[in-house]
Structure 1
Amino acid sequence: MDEDGTHFLLEAGGQTIRLLRLAGVPPDIPLAALVPLDPDGFDRAEAIYRLLRALLGRTVPEDRRLTPQQKRRQRFMLQATDGRMNGATYREIASVIYGVDRVASEPWKTSALRDATTALVKDGLAMIAGGYRTLLRHRRRP
């Protein structure tokens, strides 16, 4: 509890969600969610729907915005970027992601794995710089 109100932690679906009951609001009043009516409103409304299901003890549907292949590439992007930021060479990163034997099977300078690894690092850096937000948004029609 602080000047803002009472803070709660909700464990749901393997994640911890922080909730706040504003100061001055009696405990018998249900929590409320404020949703800005902007282009991200649909995403926020869906998040509130999922939160409400968790609060009421109902099954929360799996988030299917990313395919298994997209999830794997996101993981590789972060893994490659983490390695690069910690001093690993592109070849060392490729060996971890694709396997030592596969990397050694062709000349590194002309290898498609070299290009794929540099792309993973580049895209991982873009994701860290704020691009991760696109993962959370619905696809928008132009």
Structure 2
Amino acid sequence: MIPIQPTPSVTGGCDFPARPSLSALRQDVLWSPLANPAVLLADDAPKFLPPSPSLAAPADVRSSPEGLHAIHRAGIVAQILLLSGRKTDRASAVILPLDDDLPDRVEAVLRLWQALSARPVTRDGRITPYQRRRIRLMMRAADGRANGATYRQIANALFGPERVAAVDRRAKRALTHFWCNKEG
């Protein structure tokens, strides 16, 4: 199968999956289903199945070589890859590849179904709240270092000057205790 190449920009600029001028917090970043198993693969449902809602309703869609990416906002934000490459009003079916990511894909489908059914949506269990907080802090620290901040400036920004000063005092006490009690 020959891969479909995206249509180049006619204005002479570069085509990016996200706008480089905007923060990732201010735009939807499109993921490949290979990188993020929460990206749902959808296509038209077979006609012999009972009626079900269409997932192609979102207006926010972007074309890609993989298909048509749609951002669905129904109680949660879900990224759906329409494999047909077109929006239709026909009923949709989700495709679940039988790979190592199947459990994560099933949970993503369940979260979307809960949102569409106006039920309480379970949280994404792939990452704990503690891990999410740590990742956020690590990203802020990396961003600070990339912009020339010192380790102390980063610590003050992340934890506050009072907490950093308290750690400094404890470290000084521990070092003093170590050197005063050292035999020799």
TM-score range, shorter chain: 0.5 to 0.7
Distance change (3 Å), C-alpha of 1:56 and 1:19: farther
Unaligned runs of 5+ residues in structure 1 are: 112-142
User: Higher helix fraction: Structure 1 or Structure 2?
Assistant: 1
Task: Name the CA distance, whole Å, in 2 between partners of 1:84 and 1:6.
Answer: 37
Task: Name the CA distance, whole Å, in 2 between partners of 1:5 and 1:68.
Answer: 32
Give the drift of 1:70: 2.9
Sequence identity percentage: 43
Tell me whether 1:12 sits opposite 2:77 in the alignment.
no
Task: Name the CA distance, whole Å, in 1 between partners of 2:76 and 2:86.
Answer: 31
Distance change (3 Å), C-alpha of 1:7 and 1:44: closer
* Helix, strand or coil at the partner of 2:93: coil
Tell me whether 1:90 sits opposite 2:137 in the alignment.
no
Task: Name the CA distance, whole Å, in 1 between partners of 2:95 and 2:76.
Answer: 24
Task: Name the CA distance, whole Å, in 2 between partners of 1:63 and 1:24.
Answer: 28
Q: Which amino acid aligns with 1:41?
A: L
- Correspondence list, 1:1-142, <5 A: 8-13=70-75, 15=77, 17-18=79-80, 20=82, 22=84, 27-28=89-90, 30-105=91-166, 106=168
Q: Which amino acid aligns with 1:86?
A: N
Contact 1:5/1:22 (8 A) holds in 2: yes
Distance change (3 Å), C-alpha of 1:7 and 1:92: closer
Distance change (3 Å), C-alpha of 1:64 and 1:23: closer
Contact 2:67/2:82 (8 A) holds in 1: yes
- Give the CA RMSD over aligned residues: 3.4
Q: Which amino acid aligns with 1:17?
A: Q
Q: TM-score, length-normalised on structure 1?
A: 0.56
Contact 2:104/2:126 (8 A) holds in 1: no
* Helix, strand or coil at the partner of 2:94: coil
Look at both structures and tell me which one has the larger radius of gyration over its CA atoms: 2
Task: Name the CA distance, whole Å, in 2 between partners of 1:26 and 1:15.
Answer: 20
* Helix, strand or coil at the partner of 1:17: strand
Distance change (3 Å), C-alpha of 1:21 and 1:40: closer
